[in-house]
């Protein structure tokens, strides 16, 4: 049976396929941009903010093992598929249609696999990726709704019979583009320790200084000196134990601790984004975050161990039974009813209202997590390793100069 060129014969099929292909391409382009913005921001003002919730979190995907293949953002491959679908609708041919049908099937198989891994392994879902998933499925529905034959050839013959000429051409073009993306990825990564690092430090020193909160948490993730203000690097971190971006910040700091050993004091200022205990911001994003705050804060001597275990099992932290087992493991079952612990956590949260609002949308300056105050300058969101390292090194240099000069114009990262 000879294949028919459905898209040449059906205007509806062509229009729908074109629109869905463009939709795939647009969402893929957004994910690519987000990948680079999240991992290699070029400005201190582009820090990621955990402002959706622990599950619907695009930054988690951008920082995960699913975000790239050999330095190529995964969204690039989705972009290629979307463009091919759109072009196939504009310039229909039998071989083009056969090949795109096959790619559409394989693409949806990949989409389902990514969805399952993202939800059940990473415990989060990127809304940008979800847009691509939706348009991918709709694109396949068009091929199913408007078959190229009467279906008597069977599934394999209908959907898994690409034109080898087209397939080889697609593959070659895709590999060339992937190589270009890998070079761009390497350049963006290298730039973090060059001009971008210098710009970040300059922007950091241009920030207005703010006062320390009236009550600084006694909970430390790094402690160089007994007195908080005696260390060269002093950080108050407003954070939520169920916030993926807070975990990302903690991971970056953990890598920097060896290089800056004995030079950092980091106070973990509890700021759970849950209405049960936080009335400073109108967000109720992370059910269970208040309980985790009490559990972690109850015994300051065990805080770091509990903090690390929660972030290592951040998805499990949403489960009430897991939280109960965690409290039992560390012998802090009384934390949820202990008035001293609860009052301490509430004191930390209340300090978020001490900072002037940074936009008309929010009542206070502390409005999301993480918000970090580094040596008296506030950064809303977080920064990747290289940019944090650059700021830390500049602060050490300033400390060694006796605190003189806010910023040296010829400063270069070491």
When the pLDDT of each residue in the chain is averaged and rounded to a whole number, the result is: 85
Which CATH number covers residue 180? Answer: 1.20.1440.130
Q: Quick one: 378 and 241 in the same domain?
A: yes
Where is mean pLDDT largest: 21-25, 139-143, 173-177? 21-25
Q: Quick one: 207 and 152 in the same domain?
A: no
pLDDT value at 361 more than 70: no
Q: With respect to residue 412, please indicate whether it lies within any of the assigned structural domains.
A: no
Q: Quick one: 235 and 344 in the same domain?
A: yes
Q: Are 134 and 40 in contact (CB under 8 A)?
A: no
Q: Are 69 and 225 in contact (CB under 8 A)?
A: no
pLDDT value at 152 more than 70: no
Nearest Cα residue to 85 out of 143, 129, 134: 143
pLDDT score, position 18? 94
pLDDT score, position 166? 87
| pLDDT above 70 as % of the chain | 87
pLDDT value at 156 more than 90: no
Q: Which of 173, 191, 209 is the last residue of a domain?
A: 191
Q: Quick one: 167 and 288 in the same domain?
A: no
Integer CA distances (angstroms), 353 to 36, 238, 240, 349, in order: 33, 12, 16, 8
* Residue bearing the bigger pLDDT, 1 or 33: 33
Q: Which of 163, 191, 219 is the last residue of a domain?
A: 191
Q: Are 297 and 344 in contact (CB under 8 A)?
A: yes
Arithmetic mean of pLDDT, 161-181:
88
Q: Which of 174, 191, 208 is the last residue of a domain?
A: 191
Arithmetic mean of pLDDT, 170-176:
90
For the segment 243-291, what is each residue's pLDDT rounded down to a tens digit?
988 999 999 999 999 899 999 999 999 999 999 999 888 788 899 999 9
- DSSP helix/strand/coil, 307: helix
pLDDT score, position 291? 96
Q: Quick one: 307 and 180 in the same domain?
A: no
Q: Containing domain of residue 386, as a range?
A: 198-400
Q: Quick one: 301 and 208 in the same domain?
A: yes
For the segment 209-238, what is each residue's pLDDT rounded down to a tens digit?
999 999 999 999 999 999 999 999 999 999
Which CATH number covers residue 323? Answer: 3.40.30.10
Integer CA distances (angstroms), 84 to 97, 162, 288, 392, in order: 10, 13, 45, 46
Residues 6+ apart with CB under 8 A from 48: 38, 59, 62, 245, 248, 381, 382
Assign 242 a pLDDT band (cuts: 50, 70, 90): very high
Find the helix packing angle between 164-191 and 11-39, rounded to 10°: 20
For the segment 305-356, what is each residue's pLDDT rounded down to a tens digit?
999 999 999 989 999 999 999 999 999 999 999 999 999 999 999 999 999 8
* Residue bearing the bigger pLDDT, 157 or 163: 163
Report the alpha-carbon distance of residue 361 to residue 280 in Å, rounded: 14
pLDDT value at 409 more than 90: no
Nearest Cα residue to 279 out of 370, 367, 341: 367
Q: Quick one: 260 and 180 in the same domain?
A: no
| pLDDT above 90 as % of the chain | 50
Peptide bond into 370 cis (omega under 30): yes
Arithmetic mean of pLDDT, 283-306:
94
Element (DSSP H or E) covering residue 239: strand 233-239
pLDDT value at 1 more than 50: no
Q: Any idea how long the chain is?
A: 414
Q: Quick one: 235 and 164 in the same domain?
A: no
Q: With respect to residue 319, please indicate whether it lies within any of the assigned structural domains.
A: yes
pLDDT score, position 414? 45
Element (DSSP H or E) covering residue 266: strand 264-270
Q: Quick one: 128 and 239 in the same domain?
A: no
pLDDT value at 358 more than 90: no
Arithmetic mean of pLDDT, 353-380:
85
Assign 410 a pLDDT band (cuts: 50, 70, 90): very low
Total tally of structural domains belonging to the chain: 2
Q: Quick one: 203 and 184 in the same domain?
A: no
Q: Quick one: 166 and 210 in the same domain?
A: no
For the segment 9-29, what is each residue's pLDDT rounded down to a tens digit?
778 888 999 999 999 999 999
For the segment 180-199, what is each residue's pLDDT rounded down to a tens digit?
988 887 777 766 666 777 88
Q: With respect to residue 307, please indicate whether it lies within any of the assigned structural domains.
A: yes
Counts for the chain of helices (H) and strands (E), in that order:
15, 7
Q: With respect to residue 413, please indicate whether it lies within any of the assigned structural domains.
A: no
Report the alpha-carbon distance of residue 17 to residue 384 in Å, rounded: 39
- pTM score of the predicted model: 0.70
Q: With respect to residue 411, please indicate whether it lies within any of the assigned structural domains.
A: no
Q: Quick one: 62 and 115 in the same domain?
A: yes
Assign 161 a pLDDT band (cuts: 50, 70, 90): confident
């Amino acid at each position: 049976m000879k294949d028919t060129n459905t898209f040449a014969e059906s205007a509806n099929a062509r229009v729908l396929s074109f629109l869905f292909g463009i939709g795939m391409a647009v969402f893929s382009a957004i994910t690519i941009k987000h990948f680079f913005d999240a991992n290699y921001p070029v400005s201190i003002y582009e820090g990621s903010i955990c402002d959706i919730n622990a599950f619907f979190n695009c930054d988690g995907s951008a920082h995960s093992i699913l975000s790239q293949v050999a330095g190529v953002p995964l969204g690039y491959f989705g972009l290629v598929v979307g463009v091919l679908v759109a072009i196939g609708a504009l310039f229909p041919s039998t071989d083009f249609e056969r090949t795109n049908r096959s790619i559409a099937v394989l693409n949806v198989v990949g989409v389902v696999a990514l969805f399952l891994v993202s939800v059940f392994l990473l415990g989060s879902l990127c809304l940008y990726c979800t847009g691509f998933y939706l348009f991918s499925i709709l694109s396949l529905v068009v091929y199913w709704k408007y078959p190229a034959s009467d279906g008597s050839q069977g599934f394999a013959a209908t959907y898994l019979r690409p034109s080898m000429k087209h397939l080889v051409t697609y593959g070659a073009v895709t590999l060339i583009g992937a190589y270009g993306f890998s070079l761009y990825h390497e350049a963006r990564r290298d730039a973090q320790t060059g001009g971008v690092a210098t710009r970040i430090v300059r922007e950091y020193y241009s920030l207005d200084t703010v006062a320390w909160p009236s009550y600084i948490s006694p909970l430390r993730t790094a402690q160089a000196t007994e007195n908080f203000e005696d260390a060269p690097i002093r950080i108050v971190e407003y954070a939520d134990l169920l916030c993926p971006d807070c975990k990302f910040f903690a991971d970056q700091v953990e890598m920097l601790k060896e290089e800056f050993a004995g030079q950092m004091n980091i106070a973990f200022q509890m700021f759970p984004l849950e209405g049960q205990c936080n009335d400073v911001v109108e967000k109720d994003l992370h059910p269970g975050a208040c309980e985790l705050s009490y559990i972690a804060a109850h015994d300051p001597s065990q805080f770091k161990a509990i903090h690390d275990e929660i972030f290592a099992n951040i998805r499990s932290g949403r489960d009430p039974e897991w939280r109960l087992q965690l409290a039992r493991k560390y012998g802090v079952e009384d934390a949820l009813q202990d008035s001293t612990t609860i009052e301490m956590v509430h004191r930390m949260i209340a300090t978020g209202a001490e900072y002037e609002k940074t936009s008309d949308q929010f009542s206070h300056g502390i409005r999301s997590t993480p918000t970090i105050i580094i040596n008296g300058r506030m950064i809303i969101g977080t920064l990747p390793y290289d940019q944090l390292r650059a700021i830390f090194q500049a602060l050490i240099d300033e400390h060694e100069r006796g605190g003189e000069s806010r910023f040296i114009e010829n400063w270069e990262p070491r």
